[in-house]
Amino acid sequence: MNTFKIGGVHPEPNKLTADRKIETLALPVQAVFPLSQHIGAPAVPCVQKGDTVRVGTRIAEPGGFMSASIHSSVSGKVAKIDSVIDASGVRKPAIFIDVEGDEWEPSIDRSDKLVLQSNKSREEIVECIKNAGIVGMGGACFPTHVKLCPPKECTIDTLIINAVECEPYLTADHRLMLEHSDEIIIGIKIILKVLGIDHAVIGIEANKPDAITLMRSKTSMVSGIEVMPLQMKYPQGGEKQLIEAVTGRQVPPPPALPANVGCVVQNVGTVFAVYEAVMKNKPLIERIVTVTGQDVKNPCNLKVRMGTPVSQLIEYAGGMPENTGKLISGGPMMGRPLLDDTAPVVKGTSGILMIPEADAIRRAERNCIRCAKCVQACPMGLEPYLLATASEASDWECAEENWIMSCIECGCCQSTCPSRRPLLDWVRLAKNRVGGIIRARNAKK
């Protein structure tokens, strides 16, 4: 079975919710939409306080080429445009909508009927995806329409569907495949059409045999779409690792893109959203969120309207366990800690994880014993111990020479270190500084 070659770790999978059907969460009382839910420029509000909106009404427009629209996921009145502390821990502008009823934009097809064909052209499809505000749903939140228009000089030959879900605990993509396989396959065909190619590979880790079997049987009659089971290893869902696992090609160091090796990677969640946008005219207003944790009473997979406060999801899962010490948006390897449970669900919220206090506390760090375990773990072939030391000493030159910009912030190094060194903290710091230095240098040229 294929996998990527360098490094990687095997965290406990803890997929507590793999067998839990997706349930629909009730509407919130108030929905909050931060204007930066994606990589790139924040969206610009196009509604005002007091405006009435319906489900699917666009409430913010893209703030640039690299940006995405935002749509209301509820019907009601715009209460205010204010700021909210989002998953990044930073106060950001957001639109608040008080919910009244559940009235949808009439253009949206709300039926469950599968739509197989559309006669939209490539340009129309991209426009449709752009208008629907779709971004990468695996967590990176890269605007999808940008990714579907790779630089002209790159020849794309393979579309890779990321159904790896290598983060422990999360099962949103897994459930989506089991319950919406037909939609996903149509979504893949749509994206293939946009890219003008006829070869797609769905990469699924071997711990989801049911999804592999189902997707295989669904694609057996479809030419050009292949299901590839992959060995379990974190961070296989990382774009570069997945491309290598599937095609054997390695994306060169930044600023090279997957397109440079002929690949475009899309998450299954994104593919599903593309189907809904193109075939059902439905913007990105809902997503699947795994609500989970060792001591959570009723861990579950929920279909949630964007903007719903996290507290409501936790409530549904049986409340936050007494012993919770950390609340995370996303998975345990790359997720972001939340300040409290008032943050809203956004496009990139793949999971809500509650970690017991005993595991939430970092243990005291000790001397590096030079065991080289971090070097063995790093999937990018870096020397985390060295980068961290360089960072501590503010030796940005050494960090740059040792490829710090290649770091994908996967956390393998830190999660392996027997001395519990906060390696990734130091690496992030240095990466930030070196990134700044490189930008300044390029600007001068």
Partner 1 sequence: MAQKLYITTSPHVHCGDTIERNMRWVIWALMPALFASFFMFGLGALIVTATSVLSCLFFEWFITRFLLKRPSTLGDLSAVITGILLAFNLPSNIPLYMIVVGALVAIGIGKMAFGGLGNNPFNPALVGRVFLLISFPARMTSWPVPHQLTAYTDAVTGATPMNLIGQIAGGNSAAADQLPGLGDLFLGNIGGCIGEVSALMLLIGFVILLCSKVITWHIPVSILGTVTVLTGIMWLINPVLYVNPLYHLCSGGLMLGAIFMATDYVTSPMTPKGMVWYGIGIGFLTVVIRYFGSYPEGMSFAILIMNAVTPLINNWCKPKRFGEAVK
402-431 positions binding ligand SF4, by CB under 6 A: 407-413, 416-419, 421, 423-424, 427
The number of residues making up the chain comes to: 445
Residue identified by tokens 């490829």 is: 403
The yes or no reply on residue 237 touching partner 1 (CB under 8 A) is no
Q: How far apart are CA 129 and CA 144, in angstroms?
A: 7
User: Which two tokens mark 349?
Assistant: 């919220």
407 binds, among ligand SF4, partner 1, none (CB under 5 to 8 A by kind): ligand SF4
238: DSSP letter: S
The yes or no reply on residue 114 touching ligand SF4 (CB under 6 A) is no
Q: Which of 41, 156, 160, 144 is nearest to 92 (CA)?
A: 41
153 binds, among partner 1, ligand SF4, none (CB under 5 to 8 A by kind): none
Find out whether 342 and 160 touch, Cβ atoms under 8 Å. no
**Residues in contact with 340: Cβ distance below 8 Å, sequence separation at least 6, in sequence order:** 327
345 binds, among partner 1, ligand SF4, none (CB under 5 to 8 A by kind): none
80 binds, among ligand SF4, partner 1, none (CB under 5 to 8 A by kind): none
| Interacting positions 360-399 with ligand SF4 (CB under 6 A) | 368-374, 377-380, 382, 384-385
First-last CA distance in the chain:
46
Longest dimension (CA), the chain: 64
Find out whether 410 and 272 touch, Cβ atoms under 8 Å. no
The yes or no reply on residue 16 touching ligand SF4 (CB under 6 A) is no
132 vs 291 by CB, closer to partner 1:
291
Residue identified by tokens 């912030």 is: 409
Angle between helices 268-280 and 172-179 (to 10 degrees): 50
Q: Which of 344, 33, 289 is nearest to 176 (CA)?
A: 289
* Helix or strand holding residue 256 (H, E): none
How near is the Cβ of 382 to ligand SF4 at its closest, in Å?
A: 5
The DSSP-derived string for 49-68 is TT-EE-BT-EEEE-SSSS--
Tell whether omega for the bond before 229 is within 30 degrees of 0, i.e. cis: no
384 binds, among ligand SF4, partner 1, none (CB under 5 to 8 A by kind): ligand SF4
421 binds, among ligand SF4, partner 1, none (CB under 5 to 8 A by kind): ligand SF4
With CB under 8 A, what is the number of residues at the site for partner 1?
75
The yes or no reply on residue 104 touching partner 1 (CB under 8 A) is no
**Radius of gyration of the chain from Cα atoms?**
21
The yes or no reply on residue 234 touching ligand SF4 (CB under 6 A) is no
Tell whether omega for the bond before 255 is within 30 degrees of 0, i.e. cis: yes
Among 33-41, 56-64, 344-352, 381-389, the segment contacting partner 1 (CB under 8 A) = 381-389
How near is the Cβ of 203 to partner 1 at its closest, in Å?
A: 17
How near is the Cβ of 375 to ligand SF4 at its closest, in Å?
A: 7
- Show the binding pattern over residues 303-342: x = contacts partner 1 (CB under 8 A), - = does not: --------x--------x-x-xxxxx---xxxxxxxxxx-
| Interacting positions 164-193 with partner 1 (CB under 8 A) | 168
With CB under 6 A, what is the number of residues at the site for ligand SF4?
29
The yes or no reply on residue 287 touching ligand SF4 (CB under 6 A) is no
Which of 179, 199, 403, 405: binder of partner 1 (CB under 8 A)? 403
Angle between helices 122-131 and 268-280 (to 10 degrees): 110
The yes or no reply on residue 155 touching partner 1 (CB under 8 A) is no
- Show the binding pattern over residues 248-287: x = contacts partner 1 (CB under 8 A), - = does not: -xxxxx--x----x--------------------------
How near is the Cβ of 434 to partner 1 at its closest, in Å?
A: 15
295 vs 409 by CB, closer to ligand SF4:
409
The yes or no reply on residue 30 touching partner 1 (CB under 8 A) is no
6 vs 149 by CB, closer to ligand SF4:
6
The DSSP-derived string for 182-212 is HHHHHHHHHHHHHHT---EEEEEETT-HHHH
> What is the number of other CB atoms lying within 10 angstroms of the CB of residue 199?
15
340 binds, among partner 1, ligand SF4, none (CB under 5 to 8 A by kind): partner 1
The yes or no reply on residue 294 touching partner 1 (CB under 8 A) is no
| Interacting positions 157-186 with ligand SF4 (CB under 6 A) | none
Among 113-121, 172-180, 194-202, 349-357, the segment contacting partner 1 (CB under 8 A) = 349-357
Q: Which of 378, 436, 289, 391 is nearest to 7 (CA)?
A: 378
302: DSSP letter: E
Find out whether 84 and 78 touch, Cβ atoms under 8 Å. no
Question: Which residues are near ligand SF4 by CB under 6 A?
Answer: 368-374, 377-380, 382, 384-385, 407-413, 416-419, 421, 423-424, 427
